[in-house]
């Protein structure tokens, strides 16, 4: 009888640990996205490349988990959206700043060219 009780306890403990493992992977993805949201505005292009690679790796791990609940799948989808929005906001903002600087320089070059043309 004791062996059956111990066996049952081990089985329940294994199931409990298995569910914690799955949850910790979703938590790991969530924690990473929170970190990117906090620090992403200061990332260089190389850091964004590294962050994108890590996100892809964490996402693959999460999607490979078996027996995910519909709520966990929904959470993974929500986290994907959060990361995409954060990455776009930060990366597009830097690209727009560069484009603005290029346009300003171009316009200055045009106005200088016109001034030189008028003086000749």
pLDDT tens for 69-118 read: 899 999 999 999 999 999 999 887 666 666 666 777 777 777 776 666 66
Please indicate, yes or no, if residue 3 is contained in any of the structural domains.
Answer: no
Question: Residue 25's domain spans which residues?
Answer: 17-111
Higher pLDDT: 120 or 30? It is 30
Within-domain flag for 11: no
How many Å is the maximal CA-CA distance in the chain?
Answer: 107
Give buried/exposed letters for 47-56 (b at 16+ CB in 10 A, else e). ebeebeeebe
Residue 7 falls inside a structural domain: no
Model's pTM, two decimal places? 0.59
Is 84 inside a domain boundary? Answer: yes
Q: What is the pLDDT of residue 106?
A: 73
User: What is the per-residue pLDDT across 8-47, written as a single tens digit (0 to 9) for each?
Assistant: 455 444 444 455 554 556 899 999 999 999 999 999 999 9
């Amino acid at each position: 009888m004791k062996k059956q009780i111990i066996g049952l306890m081990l089985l329940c403990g294994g199931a409990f640990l298995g569910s914690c493992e799955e949850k910790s992977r979703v938590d790991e993805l969530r924690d990473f996205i929170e970190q990117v949201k906090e620090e992403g505005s200061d990332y260089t292009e190389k850091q964004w490349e590294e962050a994108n690679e890590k996100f892809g790796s964490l996402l693959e791990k999460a999607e490979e988990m078996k027996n995910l609940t519909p709520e966990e799948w929904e959470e993974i989808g929500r986290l994907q959206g959060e990361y995409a929005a954060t990455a776009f906001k930060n990366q597009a903002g830097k690209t727009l700043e560069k484009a603005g600087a290029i346009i300003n320089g171009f316009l200055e070059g045009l106005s200088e060219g016109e001034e030189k043309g008028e003086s000749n």
